[in-house]
Amino acid sequence: MSAETIEQRIQRVQALRLKRMAWGFANHGCTTLAVVGLYLGGFLPLAPAMVFLASSILIGTVLVLMLQFGINLRFRDPSMTMTQILWPIVPTLYVMFFVALPQGRIVFLLLGAGGLMFGTLALNRRQMLTIAWLYWLGYLGLVVLLTWRKPEYVYWPLEAVTLFAYGSVLSIVAYLGSFISNLRQELGIRNRDLKHANLELVELATRDPLTSLPNRRTVMEQFEKEVARSERQSAGPKALGISVLDIDHFKRINDTYGHQAGDEILRKVSQTIEAAIRKGDYIGRIGGEEFLIIFPETTPEMTVPAADRIRRAVEALRFEALPEGYRVTVSQGVALHQTGETLESTFKRADEALYQAKNGGRNQVLAA
């Protein structure tokens, strides 16, 4: 699976935000239906119902446009969760002012508690409680205003009980909601940790820890893929070349200068080979001091010189752990994959050529 670019991630998250916004609109849509119902039932005049509708459409459009043009990305909370939960209060309180029956107003309180549930997507306990308080104070303010301007709409004993019940429900929703919100956040962190651990596991399973090169299994898998590709393109002039490379007298180096010196050589030789091969070539550590280099789409004329370039690069290296003037050398057996040949057979030919190179005095490249 290819990694997601920053641009793609932003697009994905913005699409998710739009989806959540649509859920918020659906909730506000229920409030709108209640407004229509109250109007049709004769409990609400047409003018405030129209103002409610127009202001809702206007605010909704502004929010969608902000998301579409990425303006929300400049905010501290790009999800605009607080804004989305709070804005419906204004048109809702406005329209409630014109509802003659207390029961009619309770409909809006119910829907408001539903809106607070959206806080579970992102808000912490303090934010959830703040919104709950604002909802509650908004309603208290409305009842006080109604008592002053339209006392015939208010029956205080009922309003007192309503305010108590509303405050209780909002508190419960805020507490439970923030609990869910915390769980979501913890889950997110665990998910990230898990992804990280997974990447580390893949790294451990595919890389050699000493040299950071692909390990035997990984390089052999790559070899298999390249053989398949070479078979598909068998009519072309290019072929698949490999080199089996072995550090000369490595046991002697280990025995004389110690394992740490041997490890340093393995690391430095690996880096040198990696730097010497072309982009598209592939190298892996297949044994203690043995490496497989894959040259895809090469020619017989190019493979041996490429391998010899590596040999010379290693020969030119200096090592802190070894005496001045000590040369580390490598021998290589090179083979070109032939159409119809198995991977094992190509590898065996290269390995036999390596054996000849060792027997022939080492520090050389021999082709099968």
Ligand X SMILES: Nc1nc2c(ncn2[C@@H]2O[C@H](COP(=O)(O)OP(=O)(O)OP(=O)(O)O)[C@@H](O)[C@H]2O)c(=O)[nH]1
Does position 259 bind ligand X by CB under 6 A? yes
**Smaller CB separation from ligand X, 250 or 291:** 250
Does position 288 bind ligand X by CB under 6 A? yes
**Smaller CB separation from ligand X, 130 or 215:** 215
Binding to ligand X, residues 344-363 (CB under 6 A): 358, 362
Among 125, 207, 238, 249, binds ligand X (CB under 6 A): 249
Q: How far is the CB of 209 from ligand X (least distance, A)?
A: 9
Number of residues lying near ligand X (CB under 6 A): 17
Residue 221 catalytic? no
Q: What track of x and - describes contact with ligand X for positions 192 through 231 (by CB under 6 A)?
A: ------------------x---------------------
Does position 263 bind ligand X by CB under 6 A? yes
**Smaller CB separation from ligand X, 262 or 333:** 262
HEC string of the chain equals CCCCCHHHHHHHHHHHHHHHHHHHHHHHHHHHHHHHHHHHCCCCCHHHHHHHHHHHHHHHHHHHHHHHCCHHHHCCCCCCHHHHHHCCHHHHHHHHCCCCCHHHHHHHHHHHHHHHHHHHHCCCHHHHHHHHHHHHHHHHHHHHHHHHHCHHHCCHHHHHHHHHHHHHHHHHHHHHHHHHHHHHHHHHHHHHHHHHHHHHHHHHHHECCCCCCECHHHHHHHHHHHHHHHHHCCCCCCEEEEEEEEECCHHHHHHHHCHHHHHHHHHHHHHHHHHHCCECEEEEECCCCEEEEEEEEECHHHHHHHHHHHHHHHHCCCCCCCCCCCCCCEEEEEEECCCCCCHHHHHHHHHHHHHHHHHCCCCCEEEC
Does position 329 bind ligand X by CB under 6 A? no
Does position 289 bind ligand X by CB under 6 A? yes
Q: Which of 226, 289, 315, 344 is catalytic?
A: 289
Question: By the criterion CB under 6 A, which residues form the site for ligand X?
Answer: 210, 246-252, 254, 259, 262-263, 266, 288-289, 358, 362
